[in-house]
Structure 1
Amino acid sequence: MSRILRPLLLAGAVLGGLSSLTAQADTLRIGFQKSSTLLTVAKQQGTLEKALAARGTKVSWHEFPSGLPLLESLNVGNVDISADVADTVPVFAQAAGAQLTYYALETPSPNAQAVLVAQDSPLKSLADLKGKRVAVTKAAGSHYLLIAALAKAGLSFKDIQPSYLTPADGRAAFENGNVDAWVTWEPFVSSAQLQQNARTLASGEGLASYQRYYLASTPYAEQHPEVLAVVFETLQQTGRWIKAHPEEAAQVLGPLWGGLDARTVQQANQRRSYQVQAVTREALAEQQAIADAFYQAGLIPRKVDATAAGIWQPDAAQVTAHSH
C-alpha cells in the first residue's frame, strides 16, 4: 500500500466517526496552505470574517504543509472546509476512502505549471527526458503533468529516474544540478525562471488543465450550505480583486510566499485564472482522467470514480443576496 495512502486510511478508520462530534456550527474551521492564494488574501483582508459575522459564525484558520494532510484532516472532521488543492489531491483522497464534497473550482490555469530545465541544458524536447533524473512532488498537479508529458513523447515513468521531492527540495536539487529537470507549479515556476534563468521544456498547455479545487467535509456541506454560499461569494470577489490589483496583491502575498519579490509574484498570478466557479459533475472529466492515469501507473491501489464525490451547488438567489 502507498505510504501516502496508509495514514489517510488509518486516520479515516480511527477518527471518521468523530466528524459530527467535532463540527461546531458557530465556528468555520478552514484548512489552508501557504500557496492557497484566494483564501490567504481573504484572511489578510478579514473579508470572510466580516461576511460571516452577520450569521454569528466565527472563523479559525489551520495551516497545512501540503494538500494531502489537509484533506486527511478534512475527512476526519478536524477542519470543515479546505482552501484550494491541486486537481490530483482529491483523487488520492478518494482512493483512500475519504468522503468529501466539492464546493468550488478555479478555472483552468495550464500555464501555471511546467517542466523546467537549466538554461544551458542539452534537453530540447520531452523525448530527451529518457533516462534522465526528474524532480517532481508526489501526488501534486505536476505529477500528472509529468505523466501526460511523458505519454506525449511516447515515454512512461519506467523511462526516467523520478526524484520525489517537495518544492523546496526540488528547487535545491535543480539549482545544484542534481536533477536534469524539475516539474513544478507557480510561484515556483516563475521564481526558477526569473532567479535561475530556467528554461521551459513544456507547460501544461495541451497536456493538463490544472484546475484548483475547494472541498468541504460532506457532513459540513450538508448541514451548512448557507455558510458555503458566503465562502463561495468571497472567493469570487477575492479572485476579481487580485486580477484588478496585481501590485497590491503582490505586496500581500510576497512576504507569505517566503519573501518573493513583486515581479515574481505578479508573473505567477498572471498565470493563474483565479476565476471561481461552481463544480458540475461534467466538469470532473479530467479528474477521472487523472484517476485513471494514476491507477494505471500503480500510484493508487484501486480505481476511483471521480464523480462519486459530493458536489455543492450555489443557490443563485442565496449568492445574489450575499453580493449586495
Structure 2
Amino acid sequence: MQVLFKVLRQKSNHTPHFQSYTLEVESGNTILECLNRIKWEQDGTLAFRKNCRNTICGSCSMRINGRSALACKENVGSELQQFSHTQSGELPEITIAPLGNLPVVKDLVVDMSKFWQKLEAVEPYVSTQARDIPEREFLQTPEERSRLDQTGNCIMCGACYSECNAVMVNDSFVGPHALAKAQRMVVDSRDTELEARLELYNQDTQGVWGCTRCYFCNAVCPMEVAPMDQIGRIKQEILDRKDAQASRAIRHRKVLVELVKQGGWIDERKFGLLVVGNYWRDLLGLLSLVPLGLTMFSRGKFPVSFESSEGTEEVRSLIESVKAVKSNQ
C-alpha cells in the first residue's frame, strides 16, 4: 500500500516546514524502516537519529502522529489504524516531527544537552560512600534488586521529557526522566544518602513538586517505567518525613487528604484558606485570596455551603487502610 509521510523539516533557528514523501510499504514496516528508505531512495539530506533498531538504545525517539514514540517500535499498520482519518481516495498519512521541549539541530535531530544536564542534577548514581571498595562485593537480596526493575528499564529516549507540560512552562523543573532515575536511587539498598537525596528532590518546583500530574509521561513511555508513578513515590517519602508547615506544596497534599477524610471530597471553602493561608497563620497569604474570592462571589461561583459525600466513612476507611498497608511495607 502507498502511504504519505509528512516529515517536519527544520534547520536550527529556521522556520520549520512539512515535506511529503510517498512510499510503497507493508503494514508491518516500522517507522524507522520507512525513514531509512526515504533517506536512501528519495532524499539523502533528511536527518534523524538511529542505532539499535530494537527498542534498546532510545536513539530514534521522535513525535509520530503527534505523540513521542520510538520509530523502531511503532509500525505503519498500527499508526494508520489508530490515527489515520483520511477521506476516501486519499493516501493515508503519517506525520513525523522532532521531540518537543528541546531545540532542533536539523530535521528530526534535537539537542539533548539540557536533557542530560537535568539528569545530572538529581545525582543518578550510587553514593560515593557506597562505592568505596569493600572487603567483598556489595550483595543485594532478590527483593532489594527487584525494587530497581521498573526504573532500571529506562532507556533515556526522551519521550517523557518531550511530552512534559511542566518542562514546557517551567525551565527549572528537572523533568520526569530525571525523577524516575531519582526514585531508583531512593530505593537502592546500596545508597547511603537517602535523606540528602529527598531534600534535593524536595526543592520547590525544581523537584517533584513541579510535576503537574498530566500523565503524558506515563502514556508515552515505551518501557513502562511510569515516570509519574515514580515521582509520586518520592513525594510520599517526603510527605512521611515532613509536616504541613514545611512548605505550601506539602501542605497542599496533606490538606487535600485531610479534607477528603472529613467529607468524602474537598471542601473548596477551606482548601485555599488552609493551604495558602497556612491554617490562618499566614496573613499575607489570606489577603492574597481576597481578589479571587470577591470575583468568585460576584459571579456566583463561591460555594456558600458544603455537604459531605455519600459513603464518607468508607472513603475514610479506605484512606486509613492504604496508609496502614504503606506503613507495613
Place the TM-score, normalised by the shorter chain, in its bin. under 0.3
Structure with the higher fraction of residues in strand conformation: 1
User: Larger radius of gyration, structure 1 or 2?
Assistant: 2
User: Which structure carries more relative contact order (alpha carbon 8 Å, separation 6+)?
Assistant: 1
TM-score with structure 1 setting the length: 0.22
